[in-house]
Structure 1
């Protein structure tokens, strides 16, 4: 009788240990992913559910026509759109050569007080080089036409 309850107790300890180990590893993986991968959002997603100012993420879409303003020094303002929503962007630095209005772009940064503060801007001149996420976001808004069609 005592032997059986000892075995049962041992089994419960092993299961409890496995649950703890699984929980710890899940938390570690989630933390590593959150820090290592900047989640992609379209302008529509940003407007629907604004991320916290502490979160670094990537935004992509088209540089809206008539919004590109080069300020004093290296500060640049423009808006990025996916046709459904538009997000104002501010960036300090040198823009890529291919950066222009009505072209695809991807920016990395934070969304603070209604403005995307970009730390990095990538220009996508040709639709064939546009990141899949940007193409998907534009297709979802019905703007993107396949170059092949």
Structure 2
């Protein structure tokens, strides 16, 4: 009977190893996908410290700085996005989401040209689930973001 028990245990170890390898692969692929230029995420501090190339498309996220929204000609809007430490000016032409507003979280997709983030898409983030973890961590570190649930 002892033989059967040993086999079962070995089987379980194999399953755990296979699961672990699958998980590691999945994590690696996700990391690779994010690194792949488009939608690579940066905080305003990262943009300020290492400005991306003008042809690089990435996402920026943070809070819309209070008093920074300026509506220009037509549908062009300028505002600043901040993570508490650094602020990046944003220019966007298009219809802003309903939830967009000062002190609200946002994520924009676009490129950084001559010191201005030219956004092709703006997403308003009104709750935590949307906010990339990096932004939340950066905001919490700066003490800008207060968790509404705590």
TM range (shorter): 0.7 to 0.9
CA contact (8 A) 1:62 1:102 kept: yes
What 5-or-longer segments of structure 1 have no aligned partner? 1-29
Partner of 1:144: helix, strand, or coil? Answer: coil
The equivalences for 1:1-20 within 5 A come to none
In the aligned structure 1, how far is the partner of 2:118 from the partner of 2:67? 19
Instruction: Name the structure 1 match of 2:36.
Output: 34
Counterparts of 1:67 and 1:102 in 2: how far apart (Å)?
10
SS in 2 for 1:76: strand
CA contact (8 A) 1:127 1:147 kept: no
Q: Paired residue for 1:64?
A: 65
TM-score under structure 1 length normalisation:
0.73
The separation in 2 between residues aligned to 1:130 and 1:49, in whole angstroms, is: 22
Instruction: Work out the CA distance in 2 between the residues paired with 1:77 and 1:123.
Output: 15
Larger radius of gyration: 1
RMSD (Å), alpha carbons: 2.0
Cα separation, 2, equivalents of 1:127 and 1:31: 22
Residue by residue, what CA displacement relative to the aligned partner does 1:10-48 show, whole Å, maximum 9, x if unpaired? Answer: xxxxxxxxxxxxxxxxxxxx799525x411100011001
Question: Is 1:54 paired with 2:64?
Answer: no
**Which residues of structure 2 form unaligned runs of 5+?**
1-31
TM-score (norm 2): 0.72
CA distance in 2, matches of 1:106, 1:63: 10
Runs of 4+ in 1 over 4 A off after TM superposition: 30-33
Q: How many residues align?
A: 119
Change (3 A) 1:96 1:49: same
Contact 2:140 2:146 in 1 (8 A): yes
Find the counterpart in structure 2 of residue 75 from structure 1.
76
